[in-house]
Amino acid sequence: MEEKRLTIDEKLTGKKATFFCMNYIYTGVVASIDERTICIKEPAIVYETGPFVSKEYKDVQSLCVPEFFINRDAIESFGILK
């Protein structure tokens, strides 16, 4: 049986993800992904992660907007962490 390989869009859409970018760490629920941007809902900036084994970040602050767009060229790494 051949295993189906999921695209990044399929893996992340609807899930809370964290994006390590050039200047900030962003977190939020991935709403959409296109060639240039990633749209996140409930966006926040992580100012201090604390231990990665913790369930929550030590200092995370909401951007107080319903959605936020991240330029994909600014992303260094990303994934589902917390």
Per domain, the residue ranges of the chain are 8-79
Given a contact cutoff of 8 angstroms between Cβ atoms, the answer to whether 43 and 28 are in contact is yes
pLDDT at position 13, please? Answer: 95
pLDDT at position 64, please? Answer: 98
pLDDT at position 57, please? Answer: 96
pLDDT at position 1, please? Answer: 62
Given a contact cutoff of 8 angstroms between Cβ atoms, the answer to whether 30 and 18 are in contact is no
**pLDDT tens digits, the chain, 82 residues: what are they?**
667 787 888 889 999 999 999 999 999 999 999 999 999 999 999 999 999 999 999 999 999 999 999 999 999 999 999 8
pLDDT at position 27, please? Answer: 98
Query: From the CA atom positions of the chain, what is the Rg in Å?
Result: 13
pLDDT at position 62, please? Answer: 98
Q: What is the CATH architecture of 8-79?
A: Roll (2.30)
Which ranges in 1-82 belong to alpha helices (H)?
A: 8-12
User: What share of residues in the chain are helix, strand, coil (percent, to 5)?
Assistant: 10, 50, 40
Burial environment of residue 46 by CB neighbours within 10 A (0 to 12, 13 to 18, 19 or more)? buried
